[in-house]
């Protein structure tokens, strides 16, 4: 277990290096970690395969090179997992996705680190032959430094999750089916304001990466608004149901049947006289166009939509009374369409 932590910490320490230390770090150290991880991953997959002899589904998954299968089984709603086989296959798929992510990102890191060392050497030698002046060169170095930090943090997270999943899989394989207990899923009902703040931060980060224009900017805004609506409306629905039932242990969850247009339709249903739904429709259409045609738009359009529409929607939803009849009708409709469930 200590060795597991040390491997993840190697990338964490690298991400927190100052410019001089990062430039002085040997690329061979990173490459050697990649090789040792590759060997370890292979050995541990082999060990899990041997432990799974007799289980054709699990063995096939462990021996499969089909990454689509890992995505299908690894990106699921955990609350839908009912049997031991489903649970173990889910964890195996996530484990292999962690492996593939680590290998991919470490290879990218090696190239980025090489580039950083090259530019840092030019900076120290005051060689601006490929840039206007030292300020532009330093900006390139700073940008690379941020990318290396992000890569290392992503790698560290994937490695820690990998080791956690590996130990859970071994433990679960040793249990009998009758001893298996379905996963207890925590609904992130609490800390609503913190979740909204996190959405806002991620949207801002997407827009700040490309300061002038971007293809993904409006999509980030649309997704952020969609999440904001779901969180705020979900909170109102929760309040309504708990007040009506006089029970605080009832929770709500939107199902996978709820789509983006459903989310925006909820706004139209609850606030028919407001213009927010029309604005959301414009943002949705424009973001789809930018994605499908790979057309970039000035970021001030995204910032404007993000700022003004977010503020307007938050104020509108905050004013919604949990006892409002329109909310009651929306809840009934969503339940009938199996888009909302009570827990």
Query: Where does the pLDDT of residue 3 fall: very low under 50, low under 70, confident under 90, or very high at 90 and above?
Result: low
Do 170 and 122 reside in the same domain of the chain? yes
| CA-atom Rg of the chain in angstroms | 24
Chain mean pLDDT for the chain:
86
pLDDT of residue 273: 82
Residue 19: inside a domain, yes or no? yes
Instruction: Check whether 137 has a pLDDT greater than 90.
Output: no
Instruction: Determine the structural domain holding residue 89 and report its residue range.
Output: 2-179
* Same domain for 216 and 83: no
- Residue 182 has a pLDDT of 57
- The span from the CA of 205 to the CA of 141, in Å, is 19
**Residues 204, 175 within the same domain:** no
Q: Are residues 196 and 337 in the same domain?
A: yes
Which of 159-168, 172-181, 220-229 is predicted with the least confidence, judged by mean pLDDT? 172-181
Query: Is 185 a domain residue?
Result: no
* 3-class secondary-structure state, position 294: coil
Q: How many Cα atoms within 13 Å fall on the side-chain side of residue 148?
A: 28
Residue 286 inside a domain? The answer is: yes
User: Is residue 82 in some structural domain?
Assistant: yes
Is residue 121 domain-shared with residue 220, that is, in the same domain? no
**Structural domain includes residue 186:** no
Kindly report the pTM of this predicted structure: 0.76
Q: Is residue 184 part of a domain?
A: no
311: in domain: yes
Q: Clarify whether residues 209 and 171 are in a common domain.
A: no
């Amino acid at each position: 277990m200590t060795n597991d932590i040390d491997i993840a910490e190697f990338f964490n320490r690298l991400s927190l290096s100052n410019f001089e230390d990062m430039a002085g770090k040997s690329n061979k150290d990173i490459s050697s970690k990649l090789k040792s991880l590759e060997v370890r991953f292979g050995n541990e997959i082999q060990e899990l395969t041997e432990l799974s002899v007799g289980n054709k589904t699990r063995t096939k998954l462990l021996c499969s090179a089909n990454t689509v299968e890992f995505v299908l089984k690894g990106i699921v709603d955990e609350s839908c997992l009912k049997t031991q086989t489903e649970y173990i296959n889910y964890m195996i798929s996530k484990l292999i996705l962690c492996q593939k992510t680590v290998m991919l990102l470490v290879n990218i890191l090696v190239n980025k680190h090489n580039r950083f060392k090259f530019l840092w050497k030019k900076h120290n030698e005051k060689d601006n032959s490929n840039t206007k002046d030292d300020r532009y060169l330093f900006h390139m170095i700073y940008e690379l430094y941020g990318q290396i930090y992000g890569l290392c943090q992503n790698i560290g997270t994937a490695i820690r999750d990998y080791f956690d999943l590996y130990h859970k899989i071994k433990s679960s394989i040793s249990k009998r089916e009758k001893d298996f207990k379905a996963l207890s899923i925590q609904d992130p009902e609490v800390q609503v304001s913190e979740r909204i703040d996190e959405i806002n931060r991620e949207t801002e980060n997407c827009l700040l990466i490309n300061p002038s224009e971007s293809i993904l900017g409006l999509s980030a805004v649309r997704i952020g608004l969609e999440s904001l609506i779901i969180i705020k409306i979900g909170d109102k629905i929760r309040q309504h149901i708990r007040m009506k039932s006089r029970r605080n242990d009832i929770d709500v969850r939107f199902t996978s049947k709820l789509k983006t247009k459903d989310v925006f339709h909820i706004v139209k249903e609850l606030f028919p006289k407001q213009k927010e739904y029309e604005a959301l429709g414009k943002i949705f259409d424009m973001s789809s166009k930018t994605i499908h045609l790979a057309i970039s738009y000035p970021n001030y359009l995204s910032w404007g939509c993000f700022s003004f529409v977010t503020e307007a929607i938050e104020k509108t939803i905050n004013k919604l009374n949990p006892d409002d009849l329109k909310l009651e009708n929306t809840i009934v409709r969503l339940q009938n369409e199996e888009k909302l469930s009570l827990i």
